[in-house]
Structure 1
Amino acid sequence: MSKPKMTEENVRKSLISAKKVLQKKGGKAPSVSAICKEAAISRAHVYASFPQLIDEFSATARAARKKQKSITIDGLKKNLKDVQNANQLLARSCIELRLALTQLQSKYQRDIKSKRKVGGRK
């Protein structure tokens, strides 16, 4: 008994099923090679006989990468803003602490001078 002929519809169903399985495993758009391997269909055969499927999968993968890139860029922008805000708060704290240190140093110097004067009279 010979193997049933792979019609375009059978190949499409097998590849789409394989793509769904891989997406569940990895959570992202799988490569055409990975889809073909999962479906146990020759990549060369798919490229030669079903270019429209390749276009479909490639477009889906591009869209997923673009969406992920957008999410990543948005996340990085938010992180940058958070870090900038934290940096500003730290800079303000440093300025305030430096001012407090200067004031304490001045007070300490005045206290030392006044103790020397008192101590020198004895």
Structure 2
Amino acid sequence: MAGPVLTEFAVPAATGRRYAAVSGDRNPIHLHPLTARLFGFRHAIAHGMWTKARCLAALDRAQRLPDAFTVDVAFHAPVPLPSRVELRAWPRDDGRAFALRAAGAGPVHLRGRLHG
């Protein structure tokens, strides 16, 4: 993964419940460790759309995103709740790339590209 760490942030245990309250998406894998275990997860996990939005908010604070753009993301591993993650970003010929991974030497959770 290329690029410097732009920011590191905590993903609190309540992230899934807070996202459910605003989105209406109350999937049990995001709400509580016990309900997530029923579906094979060791922990509750952050919603992918929350993860994507959180990355874009951090990118905008650090690098000021353009007024209009397209973003593509690929999800690689769930973000367990709670956790600590780091966002990296780097320029590309066709825009910018970014990746979210567990802080330190943990797994990559998401990779993305901005165009425009």
Shared fold, TM over 0.5:
no
Q: TM-score under structure 1 normalisation?
A: 0.26
Q: As a proportion of its length, which structure holds more helix?
A: 1
Larger radius of gyration: 1
The two structures have a TM-score, normalised by structure 2, of 0.27
